[in-house]
Amino acid sequence: MTDLGVALSKTVKAARLKRGMTQRMMIQRMGSSNPRVLRSYITKLETGTTRPTLETLERVADALDTTVSTLIFNAERRLTCSKAESVGREK
């Protein structure tokens, strides 16, 4: 997975935790007909072992009361900060 993909995974998990939501609560908000499968998928998404489609990312954003663009912006910011810290450590 790309660096941005990993950052997006961490951003989704951070957004969920910030809202005090469990994975189960998030799944309920996503309106899944098969919560067991979706919970497994959310775990994979949050650990960076799968890439969401745009449609899934929209559902995730809706469940988190945010937008896809906000999730991506925050992921890019997380990635930029991470890279800046790495450069600072190399000096």
CATH number at residue 44: 1.10.260.40
Distance CA 52, CA 41 (A): 9
pTM assigned to the model: 0.84
Q: Is residue 53 part of a domain?
A: yes
Q: Are 15 and 63 in contact (CB under 8 A)?
A: no
User: Greatest CA separation found in the chain?
Assistant: 51
Q: 91 lies in a domain? A: no
**Number of domains making up the chain:** 1
Residue 90 forms part of a structural domain: no
Q: Is residue 77 part of a domain?
A: yes
Alpha helices in 1-91 (DSSP H): 3-18, 23-30, 35-47, 54-63, 68-90
pLDDT of 49 reads 93
Task: Note the pLDDT of residue 25.
Answer: 92
Read off the DSSP letter of residue 64: T
Ranges of the chain with pLDDT below 50:
none
Per the structure, the complete domain to which residue 18 belongs is given by: 3-85
